[in-house]
Structure formats: C-alpha cells, structure tokens
Amino acid sequence: MEPLVTIPPPGPRARAVLDRDARIISQSMVRDYPLVIDHAEGMNIWDIDGNRYLDFSAGIAVMNVGWNHPAVVRAVSDQVKQLSHGAFLDFCSEIPVQFAETVVSMLPDGLDRVYFSNSGAETIEAALKLARYHTKRKYFISFYGGFHGRTFGAVSLTAAKVIQRKHFGPFLPVIHAPYPNPYRPLGLSTLTCHLDVVQYIREVIFQTEVSPEEVAAIVVEPIQGEGGYIVPPPDFLRMLRELCDEHGILLIVDEVQSGCYRTGRFLATEHAGIVPDIVTLSKAIGGGMPLGVTVASDAIMTWPPGSHASTFGGNNVSCAAGIAVLGVMQEAGFGDHVTAMGAYLKESLAALSEKHELIGDVRGVGLMIGIELVRDRATLEPAKQERNAILNEAFQNGLTLLPAGESVIRFCPPLIIRKEDIDCGIRILDQAFRRVTA
C-alpha cells in the first residue's frame, strides 16, 4: 500500500494570508484548519502552497456537482458577459424564470411558486414572513439541535450551539421541541422517539406554552445538519404533517443542506412521502454562486407587490449557474449514483467502527453521513477532543472533513465521488484513528 502523503505546515505565503485574515476579517467565523485555498476541481482542492486535498466537505454541502463543474463554469462566464444584475427586482428577464420553471418541475405538485434570495438564512426569512402573512399567526416551533442560519428570524429558530445565540436576543417567538434522535432518544426507545416528540408538542407545548391556533409554522430539517447529521425515524415528518394539518399550521421544511440530491433524492423530504407547505433550498443549488430558493404553493404565496423582495435575489448569473447545476442533476442515474456511493461509504465506515471503539454510531442517508464519536459505547460520553484531533490528523494527510454537533464527523463530499475516493478517504481516516487512540 502506498504511504499516505503528509501535508507540510503552511508556508510563508499561506502564513502571511492567515495573519492578514486574522487582522482584517471578522473573526466571528470558525476556521477549522490553517488552510488557504487556491483553486479546486472535481473532488479536490489545492492550497496556495500547492498541496492537494481530497475533499469530503464540498464547501459545507455546496459543491454537490463537484468543484468547478465545466457546465457551471461555462454558464456563469457566458451569463456574466450578457447580463448579471438588473432583472429580478424591478425588471423581468428570462433566465430566472427558466430556472424557477426547472426547480418547480423537480418538486412535487403543490410546490409551484418561487421566491429568490441569496443565501440559506434568507430563504428562511422569506418562509417565516410568508407563513405569518398567510396565517396571520405569530409563533413558530422548531427543534433543539436545529440550524437555520444567522439572521434574526433564522437564528431565532436555531438552537444548535449557544455561542450562535449568546447576547443576540431577544428573538422571535419560537418554541423549541426536542428533535427525535434515535442514538440518544428522548423517551426509552430508539424506534418510537419521534412519537415521544410529537406527544411532547401536543401535551407540553400546546398545553402549557402556546395554543396551536397561534402557531404559524413548524420549521424542521428532514435530517439535522449542523446539529450532528441526525436521521429521525422515517415516520417523523409524516406525523408532523398530520399535526400541522390538524391545526392549520404550515410545515416549513429546511432543505438548505439536505436538498439537491444530497440524500439520493432531490429533496430529503421525498423519502418520507409527504409534501411540505414551504420548502427552502440554497447551498448546492447555485453550484457555488449565492442563491436561495423558497418555494410554496400558489395558494400560500399570495403576498402582494412590495411586501418582500431583495436587490440581488435571483440575479441572472446565479440563476444561470442554477440551471447548469440542475441540468447535471437531471442526467440519468445521478441520484442512483449518490445512493450507491452513500451505501458504500456507510459500509466502509461501519467496518471502521469495528476496529475503532470510539465510533459509537454510523448513520445517514445518501451522502449525508455522520459518525458520532463517544468515549464509552454504554454511557455515550461525547469524544469531542478526540474528534477534533482525528479531524486534524486527517487534514495533515490531505483529507478535508468537517465537524458537526458535539462529537460528530460529517461526510458531505461532492456527489460525483467514486469508490476509489472513498477507499482513499477511509485509509486516511483509519490511520488518523490509530494515531489518536495509540
């Protein structure tokens, strides 16, 4: 077996950029690694010292069709020469309309009107305002561990890490419920933890905190992303759908991270066989260009001219990139490839968990996979420091991975990944586990 590469520490040019970054850029963002990216292509990124990395992060589930996909590069460069800004807000142009038609054609019936913005958080702001506008109700319900973005509405829903909320309140009226986590269930059973959650909303939230007729929407991730790649039991979304229907509450499904074939289907919600009232998409849909899409039915998206808009939302260049991205995703077998590679990666991680006691859980759908590290498989004590050390070891051998939750390693590679890439990533990870636990 070939020896693994070892990435040297950042060279003088990289160190200088990191120093300048630290001096001038807001340090509110987390920098997971001392990495200064120069360029990227397909499954790989290169730093400015010329080191190549195998990328299992896809820029946080953004580069689903691979970095610098030629169709996306072509669409963006052609469009920027013709018309970039100047369409969506005051004037009409064809590219955003064509993109909206393509998005809607890939969604279930009943999701047929589109609002454009520039980011995941903005898709959520639009969804919240639309839900209030439509229902004339004030309250929202979301979930502990949920992440929906950093703007005021979105951060009001978010309850993933306290640092994301500290000193920023007061927030919108949002009540948080536990998210059904089969590895750490609220009640006694991993199989019925979703029933416990729905019962909690009915019997605790609706009886003690807010009457259901004051709730505009329940906002949920079909698989929790930042919270730790938590896959709820399959019936969870269907039960939320029923609860919402019973009380005239809208169901908003945040597919910003789980959408765009990340789970093998265009929407992760499709696995549950329900149709939400409002869906939000961002990240991968722009192929690296800023783009947010909030979709609802004609009957719900009735807000009048002037009620909500954005200067850059749905700009021609992002929409041209979006058309190219969706074109790649519509090629025959795209979703099946994700399902097959996801199954292969999960099997490989399950095999790794037999060698390394630290891996307490392997879970995920398609290529949205997490492994949770614990110090003890009986007490489930989170192994956060060990997780961070393993990520650093893997990085030093040329594999970029991201953390999630308290002690989870997330796998959200470009969806074009091949078996050879998975084998290479697993080899690096295996060595990282061996070094850290030695």
- Give the footprint of ligand PLP on this chain (CB under 6 A): 60, 119-121, 124, 147-149, 221, 225-226, 254, 256-257, 282
What CA–CA distance (Å, rounded) separates 252 from 296?
9
Residue 277 CB, shortest distance to ligand PLP, in Å, is 17
Residue 226 CB, shortest distance to ligand PLP, in Å, is 6
CB closer to ligand PLP out of 147 and 179:
147
Is 80:317 a contact under the CB 8 Å cutoff?
yes
Long-range contacts of 61-64 (CB under 8 A, 24+ apart): 61/225, 61/257, 61/262, 61/283, 61/284, 61/368, 61/412, 62/283, 62/284, 62/286, 62/288, 63/284, 63/287, 63/288, 63/414, 64/260, 64/261, 64/262, 64/284, 64/287, 64/325, 64/329, 64/414, 64/415
For 301-315, letters b (16+ CB in 10 Å) and e give beeeeeebebebbbb
Question: Amino acid identity of 306?
Answer: G
Cβ count within 10 A of residue 265: 18
Residue 122 CB, shortest distance to ligand PLP, in Å, is 7
CB closer to ligand PLP out of 218 and 256:
256
Question: Amino acid identity of 42?
Answer: G
Residue 232 CB, shortest distance to ligand PLP, in Å, is 14
CB closer to ligand PLP out of 124 and 429:
124
Question: Nearest residue by C-beta to ligand PLP?
Answer: 120
What CA–CA distance (Å, rounded) separates 281 from 292?
6
CB closer to ligand PLP out of 111 and 256:
256
CB closer to ligand PLP out of 256 and 424:
256
- Total residue count of the chain as it appears in this document: 438
Residue 282 CB, shortest distance to ligand PLP, in Å, is 5
CB closer to ligand PLP out of 87 and 126:
126
Residue 325 CB, shortest distance to ligand PLP, in Å, is 15
